[in-house]
Amino acid sequence: MASSLQAQSKVCTSFSSVNVDQYGKEKKRKVGSLSTLRKRFARRRRTSKGFDHAQVFREFLADWSPRDVVALVEEYEATAALKEITLQAEMARPPATSCKQDLGLLFENKYCSDINLIYQGTVFAVHRAILAARCPFFREMLNSLSSICTEVAVDIDIAGVSISMFNELLRYLYTGDLSVAESYSGNFDILFQLSEQFGIPNPLEQDLKYLLETGIYSDISLSFTSPSDTGHSVVRGQTAYICDHILTDTEGKPCKICHGTNEFWCHRAILSARSPFFRNVIHRQQRRSADMHETHRTRILLDDSIIPRRYACILLRAVYQDALEFGAVLPDSAKRGSLTDVHVPQSSVEEAMQLFEVARFIEMDALVQSCEDFIVESLSLESLLPVLRWSSQPHGSQWVYRQAINFIREEFMTVAASPILFQLDKSHLIDVVKSDFLQAGELEVLQAVLKWGEHQLFKRVEEREPNLVSHTAHSVSRRGLRRRDLSDVELRDLLSDLLSCVRISHILPPDSEVLVSAVRRGLISTPPSYMLGDDLLVGHSSNLKPKAWIRGRNSHGLYIKPRLFTPYVEEAKVLSHFKLLQLFYLKWQHLEI
C-alpha cells in the first residue's frame, strides 16, 4: 500500500512538473491579438513583471474540486466563442463596391452617358472615354466623329452577332469580365472574329491607370477655390477651360496645357460611376448645358475648405485605381492662397481622418473603408487618443471607435501603466471595463480605476481651489495636496459608474491590500461575500470561492461572470487536465487495491 502511494505521488509530481514546464513554454509562444487586425496587433502580451497571474490563479484553484475546475473551463470556452462572434460583429461593415463593379452599374444604369450607339435598330447609351480607351475599333470610330455628334450607327461585318452578344461585348469593355450567353459560348469562330475586328483590350486596371496618368479623352475638370481666390477663379471666360487632350497626348505624356495649373482633368463617366455626389453634380450641369445649348467641357468648382485641393491626387487615384496612397498628398508649396494660409504638417493618421470625412462627403464608400482600415492598422499608444476622440464624434467613424476600444481591451495593462490612462474619457473607460474580454486581472482593473479617479479629483480640486495644489501659480505651500487629503466621498461619487463594472469577487489575491483599502475607505459599497465576517482579512471561506466564478449550482446569487483573461484561461485548462488525470489515477489505484 505504501509503495502504491509513493508511486502515485511520483506520477502526480512528474505530471505536474511536465505540465507546468510545458505550459511555461507554450505561454511564451502565446501572443495577444486584436481580431480585427490579427497580423497587425499580434504581439507578446505584456504583463506586470512583479506579478505572476498564472501562479496566483493556480494557488487560488488549488483546493477546487475537479468538477468545479472543469465547469470553470467550460465557462471560459463559452465566453471565448462569444468573443469571436462579438468581434466579427464589431468588424462588420456594408461591403464597398470596387471600380469594376461601379463601372458595371454605370453601364446598366446609363449614368451621364454622352453618346448613343445604334446596332440593329437598338440604342445603347455609352460613354466615349471608356470605349475609346478600351477598344481600338471604337477609338477609331469615335475619333472620326465631331464632338457634337451624339449618335452613331455601328456596323459589324460578322454574321451571328446578335443584339444580346453586342450588349455583352460592351459590358466586357466596362468591367473586363466576359459573360457571353450560353448559346454563343460554344461558337468560338464568332468570338475569334470579334477579337480580330475589335482588338483585345488591356486589363481594365491598366487602361484606367493610363486614363488617370495621361488625362487622354478627359471631358471634365476639378477646380478648387477658396475665399482668397474666388474673385478670379469664376470669371466667365474661364468657366469653360478648353484643352484638346487627343492632340497633345499621342505619346502618352502629361498634357502640357493642364500641367501645373489649378485644374485636375478627369472623365465624367468614371467620376459619376464611383461617386453619387459627382454624379448628381455632373447630371445637373449636363441638364443646364443642354438647356443653354452649351458644348464646352464641364468644370466643377470645389470649395477648398470642404474638399482640400491637397487631397485631389489621392481622391483621383482612389477613383481610378481603388488605391489609398498618402504619398500623393500635394506638398504645401502647391497650395494656392495667401501667406496666412499656412498648412501645419500632419501625421498620416490625421490625414486619413480628414480624408475619411471628405470621402464620406462625396459618398465614395471604397475610399471611406480604405481610410478606416489605414487608421486602425496605424493604432498605437501615440495615435490612440486622437483616434478615440475623433471616432467618438458624430463626424467620425463608429467602426474605427469599436476597433480602438478593442485595442484598449487587448492592451489594457500597457495603457493603464502609461499617462494615456488619465486622458481617457469616462465613457471610453466604462466601455472598456465592462467588457467580458478585458485582458487584465481584476486587481489591475481596480488599481487603474482608482488611479484614474484620483487624477480626475486632483484636477477638480485644482480648478476649484488652485491654492491647495502644489506647483501651480496660486500655490500657498510647497507641500500641496496629497492623495490622503482627497475626499473619499467625492471620489466614490466620481467612480460609482466605474466601480460597479469592477468584478470585486474576482480580485486575486482575495486579501489584496488595494481591495482592503478601498473597502475601508468606503469606495466599494458591497464588499465580496468572503469579507463580510467579523475580521476583514480572516473572514475568507474556501466554500464561497467557486460560487462566485461558476454559474448555477447553489451559487445563491454570488455568481459573477469571469472575464476571459488569457493567463487565467490557460492555467485553468492545465489544472483541469491535471486534476482529471489525478482523479482517474486515484480511482484506478482504488480498483487495484
Alpha carbon separation from 311 to 211, 329, 361, 364 (Å, rounded): 19, 6, 13, 14
Asked if 337 contacts 229 with a C-beta cutoff of 8 angstroms, the reply is yes
List the beta strands (DSSP E) in 179-317: 220-225, 263-266, 298-303
Alpha carbon separation from 219 to 49, 117, 290, 318, 540 (Å, rounded): 65, 19, 16, 19, 81
Give the whole-angstrom CA distance, residue 41 versus residue 64: 35
Classified as helix, coil or strand, 577 is helix
Asked if 173 contacts 154 with a C-beta cutoff of 8 angstroms, the reply is no
Alpha carbon separation from 384 to 57, 327, 341, 379, 391 (Å, rounded): 31, 23, 29, 6, 10
pLDDT of residue 144: 85
Residues 207/210/212/213 CA torsion (nearest 10 deg): 170
Give the whole-angstrom CA distance, residue 582 versus residue 9: 10
pLDDT of residue 228: 53
Q: Please, what's the largest Cα pairwise distance for the chain? A: 110
Asked if 412 contacts 432 with a C-beta cutoff of 8 angstroms, the reply is yes
Give the whole-angstrom CA distance, residue 205 versus residue 188: 26
Find, among 402, 453, 460, the residue nearest to 428 by Cα: 402
Please classify residue 545 by burial: count the beta carbons closer than 10 Å to its beta carbon, then call 0-12 exposed, 13-18 middle and 19+ buried: buried
Give the whole-angstrom CA distance, residue 343 versus residue 168: 49
Residue pLDDT tens, the chain, 593 long: 344 434 444 434 443 343 434 434 444 443 333 444 444 444 434 444 447 899 999 999 988 888 889 999 999 999 999 999 999 999 999 999 999 999 999 999 998 888 999 999 999 999 999 999 999 999 999 888 877 778 999 988 888 788 988 998 999 999 988 775 544 555 677 777 888 888 888 999 999 999 999 989 998 889 887 655 544 333 333 333 333 333 334 444 444 334 444 688 899 999 999 999 999 988 888 777 665 445 556 788 888 888 998 899 999 999 999 998 877 665 544 433 332 333 334 688 999 999 999 999 999 999 999 999 999 999 999 999 999 999 999 999 999 999 999 999 999 999 999 999 999 999 999 999 999 999 999 999 999 999 999 999 988 887 777 665 555 545 444 455 666 667 889 999 999 999 999 999 899 988 889 999 999 999 987 777 666 654 444 444 455 677 889 887 555 667 889 999 999 999 999 988 887 776 665 566 655 55
Instruction: Name the one residue in this structure whose C-alpha cell is 465557462.
Output: 75
Q: What is the DSSP letter of 32?
A: B
Query: What residues have CB less than 8 Å from 386, skipping those under 6 apart?
Result: 349, 350, 353
pLDDT of residue 238: 35
Give the whole-angstrom CA distance, residue 382 versus residue 396: 19
Cα 471 to the center of its chain, rounded Å: 41
Q: Which grid cell is 498?
A: 466605474
Cα 543 to the center of its chain, rounded Å: 45
pLDDT of residue 423: 95
Give the whole-angstrom CA distance, residue 539 versus residue 12: 32
Classified as helix, coil or strand, 442 is helix
Task: State the alpha helices, DSSP H only, in 434-484.
Answer: 442-464
pLDDT of residue 16: 39
Taking residue 592's Cβ as centre, other Cβ atoms within 10 Å add up to 7
Give the whole-angstrom CA distance, residue 518 versus residue 122: 82
